[in-house]
């Protein structure tokens, strides 16, 4: 896969430098098509927030209301897409506009007032300022695909939009760049571009069906090992069903996994990358909002690598799936919520670009509730989204009794070393006790660090023989630590990102144990409910 990716990038660069791209993407070479507009039953909007913002010239960008003029300057509108560079900024701020999902939402909201033509005019104005094939708006196939889907949905509702020539450009672009995603980034990018092309051309539906089966495992878990990207890719399955009549078993299985992994308060664990991406809320949101949510139960998703147990008030999860694409170095990472109070959390994502140091940290083993050996990640990071030879969970098992659940797993990684990390977890069904035993074996000497990351609302206070967990100055739990080796316990302040582009501080407990000889290291951490 790595060699295929490198070869694809080499061919792409060669085409750019030879001037083939300038000919291939010349606007005069765009082929005209006749589109078959279909009636689409879009959901009735329950608010008018998108339309109200659009009339004011504003967009929602990762939780911030942003004037569009403040973003246009970052678009590289006068530069061919193959010459754009964004090493000094994060293009995702611009792409939140360029994807067009806020346009389709605003359009159907505007219909309530008979003002949908105003939205259509705003869209045309955007393309005048971001002409094909220039700038960030045309730099990545996935962004083009999402925008094409939203334009198509509007055009199906209103045939006189004049979107035909615009969709010609989108169709032409995707046809010419699909090979890049297939060979270099065959994940949600390739799936999204396939779905968009199938909608625009009424072809490639069999390829869509095949790719859905490839990207969603038999247990319904998406291959990318990210909860948010599972939901994002699931949106393409919903759209494929609604606009292409593709009915896949993967859709129901993926929805079931989403139900199972949802926390009692309706939120989701922040595992893997999270860029809050969406495709077309006006189509997909009704599916998510209409789910029959699972309130309690225990599940193990063997292929996806998740073990989940929850009640109506509390929640536990351990992750043991592989490092792929949007995953982090987080094998054996634990999430814990007790009585709807988040205790142990994932550090999050923050941003993909313009923050190399932070990006490396949020992907690292030390940013998760697991064990780090000799300062190394479980799997070595390579570039922004890639991993070198991934660590593997070579053995795992679960056991259930009437009063307790047990998980045990063994992983091998840490940069091709012989080191094996064994984690044994015992959880009382009433969440009164969570006991985690970590063992390192197979190395001569070294340093093991176990990290426990707490929700920003949790503060830690040292007490003789234990550590108290406080929320709003009320004790919600306590921790007892035991180690057979010389160890050090430290409370640190570390970074936390619940949403893309946002970060704050949280408390992290770091347990360090030295291994001066060939004996194994054993660290036991017990969480007690107050």
- pLDDT tens sequence across 416-458: 677 899 999 999 999 999 999 999 988 778 899 999 999 999 9
- The answer to the question of residue 337 being in a domain is yes
Question: In which element (H, E) is residue 128 found?
Answer: helix 116-129
* Residue 361 within any structural domain of the chain: yes
Residues 499 and 361 in one domain: yes
Q: Mind giving me the DSSP string for 199-261?
A: HHHS--HHHHHHHHHHHB-TTS-BTT--HHHHHHHHHHHHHHHHHH----HHHHHHHHHHHHH
Lowest average pLDDT, out of 78-82, 306-310, 329-333, goes to 78-82
Say whether both 403 and 522 belong to one domain: yes
Same domain, 412 and 356: yes
Top pLDDT among 243 and 520 is at 243
Q: Structural domain tally of the chain?
A: 3
Q: Does the residue 310 lie in any domain?
A: no
Are 156 and 193 members of one domain?
no
Domain boundary among 253, 272, 295: 295
Same domain flag for 452 and 503: yes
Q: Domain of 199?
A: 189-295
User: Is the domain of 260 the same as that of 345?
Assistant: no
pLDDT band, very low/low/confident/very high, at 518 (cuts 50, 70, 90): low
| pLDDT band at residue 153 using 50, 70 and 90 as cut-offs | very high
194-211 mean pLDDT: 95
Residues 492 and 359 in one domain: yes
Q: Answer yes or no: is 148 within a domain.
A: yes
Looking at the fold, whether 276 and 180 belong to one and the same domain comes out as no
Q: What is the pLDDT of residue 416?
A: 63
Q: Which among 155, 184, 213 is the end of a domain?
A: 184
Domain assignment present for residue 300? The answer is no
The 3-state secondary structure of 146-185, one letter per residue: HHHHHHHHHHHHCHHHCCHHHHHHHHHHHHHHHHHHHHHC
Question: Is residue 387 one of the residues assigned to a domain?
Answer: yes
* Residues whose CB is less than 8 angstroms from the CB of residue 329 and which lie 6 or more positions away in sequence, other chains included: 323, 363, 364, 365, 368, 377, 378, 379, 381, 387, 391
State the maximum Cα–Cα separation within the chain, in Å, rounded to a whole number: 77
């Amino acid at each position: 896969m790595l060699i295929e990716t490198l070869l694809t990038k080499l061919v792409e660069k060669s085409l750019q430098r030879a001037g083939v791209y300038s000919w291939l993407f010349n606007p005069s070479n765009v082929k005209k098509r006749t589109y078959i507009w279909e009636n689409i039953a879009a959901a009735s909007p329950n608010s008018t927030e998108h339309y109200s913002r659009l009339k004011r010239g504003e967009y929602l960008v990762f939780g911030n209301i942003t004037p569009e003029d403040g973003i246009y300057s970052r678009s590289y509108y006068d530069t061919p897409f193959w010459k754009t560079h964004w090493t000094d900024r994060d293009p995702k701020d611009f792409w939140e506009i360029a994807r067009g999902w806020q346009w389709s939402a605003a359009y159907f909201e505007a219909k309530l007032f008979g003002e949908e033509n105003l939205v259509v005019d705003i869209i045309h104005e955007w393309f005048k300022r971001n002409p094909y094939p220039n700038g960030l708006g045309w730099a990545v196939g996935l962004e083009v695909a999402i925008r094409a889907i939203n334009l198509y949905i509007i055009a199906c509702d209103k045939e006189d939009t004049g979107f035909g020539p615009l969709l010609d450009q989108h169709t032409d672009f995707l046809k010419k760049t699909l090979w890049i995603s297939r060979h270099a980034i065959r994940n949600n990018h390739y799936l999204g571009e396939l779905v968009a092309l199938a909608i625009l051309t009424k072809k490639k539906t069999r390829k869509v069906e095949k790719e859905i089966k490839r990207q969603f495992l038999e247990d319904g878990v998406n291959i990318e090992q990210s909860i948010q990207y599972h939901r994002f890719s699931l949106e393409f399955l919903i759209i494929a069903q609604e606009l292409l009549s593709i009915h896949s078993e993967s859709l129901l299985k993926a929805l079931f996994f989403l139900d199972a992994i949802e926390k009692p308060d309706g939120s989701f664990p922040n595992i893997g990358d999270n860029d809050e991406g969406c495709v077309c809320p006006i189509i997909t949101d009704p599916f998510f909002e209409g789910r029959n949510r699972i309130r309690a139960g225990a599940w193990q998703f063997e292929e996806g690598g998740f073990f989940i147990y929850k009640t109506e008030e509390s929640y536990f999860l351990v992750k043991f799936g592989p490092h792929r694409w949007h995953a982090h170095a987080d094998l054996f990472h634990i999430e814990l919520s007790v009585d709807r109070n988040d205790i142990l959390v994932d550090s999050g994502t923050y941003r993909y670009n313009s923050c190399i140091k932070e990006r490396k940290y949020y992907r690292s083993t030390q940013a998760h509730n697991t064990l780090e050996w000799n300062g190394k990640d479980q799997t070595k990071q390579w570039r922004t989204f890639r991993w070198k030879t991934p660590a593997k969970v070579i053995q795992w098992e679960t056991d259930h009794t009437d009063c307790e659940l047990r998980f045990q797993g063994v992983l091998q990684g840490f940069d091709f070393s012989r080191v094996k990390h064994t984690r044994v977890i015992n959880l009382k069904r009433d969440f009164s006790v969570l006991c985690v035993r970590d063992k390192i074996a197979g190395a001569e000497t070294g340093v093991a660090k176990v990290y426990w990351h707490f929700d920003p609302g949790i503060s830690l206070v040292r007490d003789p023989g234990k550590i108290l967990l406080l929320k709003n100055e009320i004790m919600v739990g306590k921790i007892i630590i035991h180690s057979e080796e010389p160890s050090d316990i430290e409370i640190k302040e570390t970074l936390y990102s619940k949403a893309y582009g946002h970060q704050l501080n949280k408390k992290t407990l770091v347990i360090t144990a030295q291994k001066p000889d060939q004996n194994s290291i054993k660290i036991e951490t017990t969480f007690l409910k107050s």
